[in-house]
Amino acid sequence: TDLECKFSAAFSLVVTLIDGGVNLDNCTESFLRRSDVQALLARTAYLEKVPGAEGFIRVKTTDGRVLEQALVRPQDLTQYSEIREKFHFCAVPVVGQSKASEIESQVSRMEQLESVTILTPLLQQ
């Protein structure tokens, strides 16, 4: 399902190969059901990590080559610009650009707000 794919190692690999990375646009039922996605998923296996072994991705190509790459741990968003970009990516499709910008503005000065109820109308579609 679209919810399960967000937590699937196999889907993460397939979507990265096809679309460059996992995001809200490709964690959908329609993307998941695409024939190219399903074809790669059918040829993808996730093996539990062996104790004492480092995590890696192994790809066997159709010409028999085997490519390996160590897994890179996801980064926490630490820079304000990264957090802002992710917030807008998630919020704009739901509330629109102007409301997303206003929410960002109000949240950035949350400690000065008389009440957080000022956010209520901004969070509604």
DSSP line for 56-125: EEEEE-TTS-EEEEE--PPPP--SHHHHHHHHHHHHHHHH-HHHHHHHHHHHHTGGG-S-GGGGTGGG--
* Single-letter amino acid code for the residue at 20: G
- pLDDT per position as a tens digit, 1-28: 877 877 788 888 888 889 888 888 888 8
> For the residues 54-77, what does the mean pLDDT come to?
76
- pLDDT per position as a tens digit, 70-108: 766 667 778 888 889 889 988 888 899 999 999 999 998
